Amino acid sequence: MDVFTHALPGLLERTDLFVATQETPSNKEGLEQELSNLLQQLGGLQQSQFTIFIPSSATNLTPTLISVEDHPDSFDDQIEEHIFIAQQPKPFSQFYKFAQAPHAFGCTLVHLLCLMADCAILQLLHNASSTKHFPPNITPVNLIDVERRAFWHAGELCRCAHFYSQRSVTAGKFLYLLLRCAENFFESYGAMEEWKWCRDCADATRRRVERLSVKTPPTICPVGDLIEGLPKGFRLNRSRSQRILWLLHHCAPKITHSIKLYQRAANQTAPEELKKIHPLGKSPQIAIEAPNLQKPLVLAESGTIIEYLVEHFATHLRPKRWREGQERRLGGETEEWMRYGYYMHFAEGSLMGLLLTGLLVEQIRNAPVPFFVKPVTRLIAGRFDNEFLIENYAMYFGFLEGELESSPDGGEFLCGTELTAADVMMSFPVLVGRTLVDLTKYPRVLAYIDTMEKGSEYKASIDEIEAKTGEKYEVV
Ligand SMILES: N[C@@H](CCC(=O)N[C@@H](CS)C(=O)NCC(=O)O)C(=O)O
């Protein structure tokens, strides 16, 4: 990745220098060599090299193209860009609908970077022939081919407008930038219809951004699009937030998300800034942004966050509620549904309480105390183990083993054959459990963890955390 991200700025700088350098008999040969190098290196950065920005989980995805004519439901008459697109269907009438936000961001970046590289090539070719009077056959690069390719990349940026227009203020600002880049290219290329379209669509984006520009509070897990560099040293590691991120990957493409990382204080508590969003200042917290919301909707407490997200964006992660013919009757619920409600509460209400005690005891046992105090801390920890933890671990994990064995229809999840949001909720405590308890005695629990960890959305959430923090994800 570094090779390419670092290469382009350097190549653009060298392009500027080449263009600004006056040709003299003494530097002519050097300039010709530099021109050839630059054209080769900029050309070498084309799409295949830049596709590194597309996450591996999304490489098999093909975004669908939608238009106002064929997909009127995908266009909203409250969104400025959609109003513009409906009124001005030419020259861009089809837009990409992406299945995953990281895929969309990756594709957009590829087109943006390719357009920048192509514009630099065009600038070089133009300067070499018109200012430096190099012979036209000095390079094998075909001007028409590069122009066509750049035109296509600029058009692809415009076709991403629908995706970004439905999202947050930050995404709107990014879209504005994309449209202005495409607009600049079309203007210099002389494609006036496309230039005008970009200019007017960018204006619609600017108006939407102004309308939505409310102060967005920083959150540990804001839902919305954010394409910002994250400060180094901030981390999400060792936090319940991972399961929310996992769920957000299951909510795609109905909602896109980004995460903001906060660093724990030395004593492991959350930083004070988090209290500005929710008085308890605990993680996770999410802020939902939507065109109809005057200000972001802030939610705290994992269970509430999960239930809210499922209700609006992931009803497929909730089991069927009623047995046939028993609708809305007392006791008419399916076993899957009853388990779902139970585990949604059991995770934080019961199991986490036990595990937090276990984690605390581990801290006492491993506390950096002088050697003569060690026997005391070990004694305290040992008493907790013997009188409370060992027995309760066996009871709770034995219970889960039995529950998995009797899961409806022989399913491998806690509420039957399908993954539900209750499993997402339970994932954090069972993963913490794996660090404290010898789970080999509970093979079904181990298999359950293994199945969850193999899920593509689960893996995508871990990849996202690791990419953001630059470290391996660890549960505690
Ligand atoms: N039951 C809450 C627990 C929230 C919680 O305690 N979160 C931890 C991170 S996993 C935290 O913020 N710890 C820092 C602190 O307590 O200051 C939930 O599930 O959201």
Give 426 Cα–ligand 1 centroid separation in angstroms. 15
- Indicate if 195 and 57 belong to the same structural domain: yes
- Indicate if 16 and 128 belong to the same structural domain: yes
Query: Does some domain include residue 322?
Result: no
Using a 6 Å CB cutoff, which residues line ligand 1?
239-240, 269-270, 282-284, 301-302, 348
Q: Which of 180, 212, 244 is the last residue of a domain?
A: 212
- How far is Cα 198 from Cα 265, in angstroms, rounded to an integer? 46
Is pTM beyond 0.75? Reply is: no
Which atom of ligand 1 is nearest to 348's Cα? 1
Which atom of ligand 1 is nearest to 301's Cα? 20
- Indicate if 269 and 121 belong to the same structural domain: no
Query: Which of these, 219, 397, 424, 403, lies nearest to 303 by C-alpha position?
Result: 424
Mutation test residue for ligand 1: of 221, 235, 239, 240, the one with most atoms within 8 Å of CB: 240
- Indicate if 240 and 185 belong to the same structural domain: no
Of all protein residues, whose CA lies closest to atom 20 belonging to ligand 1?
A: 301
- Indicate if 276 and 374 belong to the same structural domain: no
- How far is Cα 404 from Cα 444, in angstroms, rounded to an integer? 6
Which atom of ligand 1 is nearest to 274's Cα? 12
Supply the pLDDT for residue 379: 75
Supply the pLDDT for residue 87: 93
Which atom of ligand 1 is nearest to 303's Cα? 19
Query: Does some domain include residue 124?
Result: yes
Supply the pLDDT for residue 56: 67
Q: Which of 317, 342, 363 is the last residue of a domain?
A: 317
What amino acid occupies position 445?
A: V
- Indicate if 271 and 367 belong to the same structural domain: no
Containing domain of residue 35, as a range?
2-212
pLDDT < 50: residue spans in the chain: 1-3, 215-236
Residue 288 contacts residue 219 (beta carbons within 8 Å): no
| Beta-bridge partners for 416 | 413
- Indicate if 218 and 208 belong to the same structural domain: no
Domain with 237 in it: what CATH number? 3.40.30.10
Supply the pLDDT for residue 5: 55
Question: Token pair for residue 272?
Answer: 């004070």
Supply the pLDDT for residue 219: 43
3-state secondary structure of 86: helix
Give 284 Cα–ligand 1 centroid separation in angstroms. 7
pLDDT digits (tens, 9 = 90+) for 148-195: 999 999 999 999 999 999 877 778 888 998 999 999 999 989 999 999
Query: Does some domain include residue 175?
Result: yes
Which atom of ligand 1 is nearest to 241's Cα? 10
Mutation test residue for ligand 1: of 237, 239, 283, the one with most atoms within 8 Å of CB: 283
Provide the residue count of the chain: 476
Give 72 Cα–ligand 1 centroid separation in angstroms. 43
- Indicate if 347 and 375 belong to the same structural domain: yes
Give 240 Cα–ligand 1 centroid separation in angstroms. 7
Q: Count how many domains the chain has.
A: 3
Q: Which of 179, 212, 245 is the last residue of a domain?
A: 212
Question: Token pair for residue 139?
Answer: 């390079």
